Amino acid sequence: MKKYLVNVNGTEYAITVEEMAESAPAPKAAAPAAAPAPTAPAGGEKVNAPMPGTILAVNVQNGQAVKGGDVLMILEAMKMENEILAPCDGTVTVSVAKGAAVETGALLCTIA
């Protein structure tokens, strides 16, 4: 058994993984240095709905500059409020409005 500390969206989890005899050992990676904030690719980073739901709030406006990790909007799904976060730094072009019903994969905004 190997123990790992995993960080998911700012929350740390301690997990234990059983190592199987048939699998090849995982390569050991050096500790990563602090990376600069990710930036949007040339064509723009599309932010899609992770699940069907209703847009409760749009926290950004067209042309607004955002940083990676900023809350772009709130999506209500199954009576839970889900924060949609910016995956990178850039300028936002919003594609949905407050109150809109969206399906999984629907374009919410683009960050260029």
- Tell me, yes or no, if the pTM score tops 0.85: no
For residues 46 and 110, the answer to whether their CB atoms sit within 8 Å is yes
Report the amino acid identity of residue 78.
M
Judged by DSSP in three states, 103 sits in coil
Domain span at 100: 45-111
pLDDT tens digits for 38-58? Answer: 555 556 899 999 999 999 999
Q: How far apart are CA 109 and CA 101, in angstroms?
A: 14
Give me the number of domains the chain comprises: 1
76: domain CATH number is 2.40.50.100
In-domain check, residue 59:
yes
pLDDT in tens, 9-29: 888 888 888 777 665 556 655
Beta strands in 18-97 (DSSP E): 45-48, 53-58, 65-66, 71-77, 80-85, 90-94
